[in-house]
Structure 1
Amino acid sequence: MSNERESSAERLDTKRGYRALGLWPMWYALAACLLTAISLIVTAWLLFNWLIGSPPKASPKPLDITTQLELAKLAFATVAGLGALVALVTAYRKQRIDEAAQILARQMARDTTHDATERRITDLFSNSVEQLGHEQAAVRLGGLYSLERLAQDNPAHRDTVVSVMCAYLRMPFLTQNTPGVARRGVTYPLELLDALDRAGQQELQVRLTAQSILRTHLFYSGGSQPNYWPRIYLDLSGAELIHFELSECRVQIVNFEGARFIGGASFRKAEFTKIATFIGSDFQGVADFRGARLSHAANFDDSIFRGGADFTAATFSRMVTFNGVTFGNDAHFTKANFPDLVTFRSARFAAAAYFNEAAIQECRFQDSEFHGFAVFDSAQFSLRPDFAGVSASHPNEHHRWPDGWRTDSPGSDGMAPLVSWE
């Protein structure tokens, strides 16, 4: 019974193979060729007789030896022609089958190579991820470099590798190992080293290495660069980033929501081609965005810039919001370009705020506070700025407000409302 099922399955596979090659079974093909040949011969004979006229009927005469030999030759030629036709059909089918076999063999070889490559990549990826969870820092470093090599050699896996590195950086570090650092606030990595134990110092080196790998492959100076990884999405929301460096890098999407930047954070001349999110970020050192280009919407709402923020000559191509932001030190927006709406609702400028020579399409500063001095010299506004509910330190001779605005009588806290006098 099983042999019958196997034979039936083989016949079914054979039929499927014939259909895939576009071939009939052998007997069908031979029969079709013979019938076609006979039909052509009969048709040619009738057509020939019709063209020259059918010979008149006469009494049959016995065939002489010469005629018999000619007829025999004709019969042999016909048989030989039919044999040649069969041979031609057989050779054609064999050629088609051989070609299909070669194509199938190459496809199987490619599939085998692909499967072997994928297995090797999967094994390497699994081992590297497992190394990241090892208790020894040296093993974790090895895992990072293995992931880097895997992503460099296999572009299709770069997103996954970057996601793993970002997930590693999002895992708690200082909040668990050194809770005192979070309270004191660390400005420079060297101060952080002094506050960590040996295991913490080793983990710090692992994290700095992960950040360095990302920066290396996101660095973009134009043209063809084999080490650059395009169209990357960085999800570092809630991460603790130490002396973070993304200068002159090009990234598609970044998410730093709730991230804490310990030490300086440099985004100088960086380009974010799509959405950039910094909601609730905490910049403990200087945040350097000089010459940065944010091509789509950007959101800095509720962020804290403790060490100062420098957006000199930055370009915000779409809407950008700084609502509820605290600038604990000087905020520089000199020569910044805002071709769309920018909002600073309820923002707090604890020190100087420089907007001189900025190009601003539309801006709203409702309910913001300028505790230092504000400079808007030579700022260009396409639409009248909105300073409703804004208060500023008074008296302060260093203020340079846009035309049509001035401070009014100060209150007991030394802050005066900004009013329009036009």
Structure 2
Amino acid sequence: MAAATVTMWFMLAQTQPLHGAARATARIDAIKTALTVGAGTGGAAALLLALRRQWLSEHTHIRQEAADAAAEFDATERRITELYTAAAGQLGSESPPVRLAGLYALERLAQDHAHHRQTIVNMFCAYLRMPFTPTPPLDVPESDLAGLSVPERTTAVAAQQTAAAAWEQERVVRVTAQDILTRHLWVGVDRGENHSWPLNPAPKEPKFWPGIELDLTGAVLLDFEFVGRRVEIATFAGTRFIGGANFAHAEFIQHGYFEGARFEGGSAHFLGAWFGSRVIFARTDFGDEPVVFDGATFTGMTFFHGAVLNGGVSFEAARALAEFNQNWGRVRQWPQEWTERHLTAEERMPLLAPKFSRWPEENLPPGCSTWTLVVPDDGSASTG
């Protein structure tokens, strides 16, 4: 309104020299112009006020949405923490069914919440690292029962049977923990058709958990099945594999640690396995059974020094990457009487069978320098 008044005064001042009808007409035009300016100024002010109200409303809404999202996130995390704590508590129960329920609850939690998977995997690994005697309690010898009264004999036999039942129940729980842990590491790709290099980054299995690290140091694992599994880092240092272990087609993206591990009562299979930056079999006791590394691929530093191979070892069609990360050493340490050599000028990389390897060796030119062969050491082989 002040703008309209000033404008009208100015316009009227400019009409002073006019007289009569002309002066009246000019005054009317000045008033119209002043009112128009005033209306425009007021409209602009109203528009600015409306825009400010909208801006405040939108930002208030955004802040409210952010606050609601934060509250929802906090509530979800609290719920996850409560579920995790309850399930972890179940693992400490004296009742095997309750421990099994805890395992399955943790599995479901990890499947639904990817950012908690490694923590839950760590819990599974910690459970498997707990002390466990791999053989059931023996029957009470007759010599120990001799001379006991009937009630004492009955009590001794009942105690042994109770211990044997508890051992079997714990064995079932541990095998279940192994199965749950490894089922989510299954790559789920067709190795006969997929020749991606170095690895297919997108497994087809919807329940696959990528980027997982295992720490099973000193664990006791029973009839361990790791066929076709993929893991970022796996530590089996000092682990006891009871009944053997099958790592055929397993993929260790970064490191595989088997230092001081023991394979008892069964063989170790690494058919077509893939080893990444480093694999350590130093002082690994493979027992008296033959060990198979046929078709295996070694892309980094390899340690076999001090390994016990009483049953022998096979590296048929196994290969090693010629140029590898040498942060942990420049020369691979193969088992005694084994070495690696380059292909000759006309020699192709052998292909054990399509299903044993994901590498398109048939497409490699003769004498390709990308790979070296792992071969028996006859004194003439050289990797230089």
In the superposition, the TM-score normalised over structure 1's length comes to 0.64
8 Å contact from structure 2 (residues 293, 314) kept in 1? yes
Query: Is 2:67 the partner of 1:115?
Result: no
Alpha-carbon distance in 2 for matches of 1:290, 1:327: 16
Alpha-carbon distance in 2 for matches of 1:80, 1:123: 63
Alpha-carbon distance in 2 for matches of 1:165, 1:271: 20
Tell me the amino acid that sits aligned with residue 310 of structure 1: V
Alpha-carbon distance in 1 for matches of 2:259, 2:234: 11
Alignment of 1:20-99 (within 5 A): 61=19, 64-99=23-58
Deviation, structure 1 residue 241: 0.6
Deviation, structure 1 residue 232: 0.7
Matched residue, 1:300: 281
For each residue in 1:349-400, what CA deviation from the matched residue of structure 2 results, as whole angstroms up to 9, or x when unmatched? xxxx8x6xx85459xxxxxxxxxxxxxxxxx9x9xx9xxxxxxxxxxxxxx8
For each residue in 1:171-193, what CA deviation from the matched residue of structure 2 results, as whole angstroms up to 9, or x when unmatched? 1111798699xxxxxxxxxxxxx
Matched residue, 2:361: none
Specify every segment of 5 or more residues in structure 2 that has no aligned partner in the other structure, as ranges: 140-160, 190-202, 323-330, 344-366
3-state DSSP class of the match of 2:52? helix
8 Å contact from structure 2 (residues 96, 173) kept in 1? yes
Tell me the amino acid that sits aligned with residue 268 of structure 1: A
Alpha-carbon distance in 1 for matches of 2:178, 2:273: 19
Residue 207 of structure 1: which of 174, 192, 195 is its match?
174
Matched residue, 2:236: 256
Closer/same/farther in 2, CA of residues 125 and 179 from structure 1, 3 Å limit: farther
Closer/same/farther in 2, CA of residues 149 and 360 from structure 1, 3 Å limit: farther
Tell me the amino acid that sits aligned with residue 187 of structure 2: Y
Q: Mean Cα displacement is larger for which, 111-120 or 66-75?
A: 66-75
Matched residue, 1:288: 269
8 Å contact from structure 1 (residues 324, 344) kept in 2? no
Alignment of 1:12-411 (within 5 A): 61=19, 64-174=23-133, 197-222=164-189, 223-284=203-264, 285-306=266-287, 307-339=289-321, 341-344=331-334, 360=341, 402=378
Alpha-carbon distance in 2 for matches of 1:287, 1:59: 115
Q: Which of the pair has more CA radius of gyration?
A: 1
Closer/same/farther in 2, CA of residues 129 and 254 from structure 1, 3 Å limit: same
Alpha-carbon distance in 2 for matches of 1:271, 1:401: 27
Closer/same/farther in 2, CA of residues 263 and 38 from structure 1, 3 Å limit: farther
For each residue in 1:64-98, what CA deviation from the matched residue of structure 2 results, as whole angstroms up to 9, or x when unmatched? 33332222222222222222122111111011111
Closer/same/farther in 2, CA of residues 167 and 178 from structure 1, 3 Å limit: farther
Alpha-carbon distance in 2 for matches of 1:265, 1:196: 27
Alpha-carbon distance in 2 for matches of 1:80, 1:146: 70
8 Å contact from structure 1 (residues 266, 289) kept in 2? yes
8 Å contact from structure 2 (residues 5, 34) kept in 1? no
Alpha-carbon distance in 2 for matches of 1:195, 1:333: 46
8 Å contact from structure 1 (residues 336, 359) kept in 2? no
Higher relative CO (CA 8 A, sep ≥ 6), structure 1 or 2?
2
Alpha-carbon distance in 2 for matches of 1:139, 1:195: 18
Tell me the amino acid that sits aligned with residue 179 of structure 2: S
For each residue in 1:107-149, what CA deviation from the matched residue of structure 2 results, as whole angstroms up to 9, or x when unmatched? 2222222122111111111111111111111111111111111
8 Å contact from structure 1 (residues 239, 259) kept in 2? yes
For each residue in 1:29-78, what CA deviation from the matched residue of structure 2 results, as whole angstroms up to 9, or x when unmatched? xxxxx99x999x9xxx9xxxxxxxxx9x9956467333322222222222
